[in-house]
Amino acid sequence: MSSLVEQFSTFGRELFLQGLNSSHSGNMSVREGDRIYITRRGSMLGRLSERDVIETGLEADDSHITLASTEIKIHRAIYLNTSALAIVHAHPPFAISLSLHRSQIIPVDSEGVYYFKSIPVLHAERTIGSEEVAARLPEALTNYKAVMVGGHGSFAVGQMLEEAFQWTSSLEASCKTLFLCTLLAVAGQGRNAANGASEAAEEGKW
């Protein structure tokens, strides 16, 4: 197994084991010059093998394009407009829950504050295989390591797959903590306090 396929396999499995993707969700890619290596359409990220890593052009289509992930247009747009060399897209449930009614997620835990400060949420009419997301997401990813597409999932970038995986894992850990803090506020202080806590978190007052 080549070292690149090994990396796809390792981090795809970690994404699944950490509950960041369901059986067939998510996708990952790596850029090498004008080539892109991306997970196969409909592949199981927890069980990737050599045949699940598809090589195609960064800009030009070739015969492999039909095998590539349905999100390839977003991956291409990110590579063409940022300095990213690796992308991880996942469906982390706590982050998705928080993304539904927010324009940004402000972590309250120390690791999240240190790494992210803020995680922007991009809301679009269509969120899967979306031209709108492909047009708007790269700009957000020039300023942030990870961005949520509201109600759909995360896109994180790095110079290597491990880095993009790390931001995805850390993002979900921060969102889980924020989610639990909001629940504690509901249990301890009633619904009004929870709304206040949620608004404070949104405004970065936590």
Chain residues binding Zn ion by CB under 5 A are: 153
d(CA 100, CA 73): 23
- Say if CB 140 and CB 7 are below 8 A apart: no
Closer to Zn ion by CB, 138 or 153: give it.
153
Least separation in angstroms between CB 62 and Zn ion = 24
From the CB of 38, what's the least distance to Zn ion, in Å? 13
The distance in angstroms from the start CA to the end CA of the chain is 46
Q: Least distance (Å) from Zn ion to the CB of residue 136?
A: 16
| Closer of 92 and 153 to Zn ion (Cβ) | 153
Distance in Å, CB of 20 to Zn ion, minimum: 11
Least distance between Zn ion and beta carbon 97 (Å): 15
Q: Answer for the pair 131, 73: CB distance below 8 angstroms, yes or no.
A: yes
Q: Print burial letters for 82-116: b (CB count within 10 Å at least 16), e (below 16).
A: bebbbbbbbbbbbbbebbeebebbbbbbeebeebb
Q: Which is nearer to Zn ion, 28 or 108 (CB)?
A: 28
* Local structure of 196: helix, strand or coil: helix
Nearer CB in complex with Zn ion: 31/75:
75
Is residue 174 within 8 Å of 114, Cβ to Cβ?
A: no
Q: Which is closer to Zn ion, CB of 70 or CB of 110?
A: 70
| DSSP result, 16-37 | HHTTSS-TT--EEEEEETTEEE
Q: Which residue is nearest to Zn ion (CB)?
A: 153
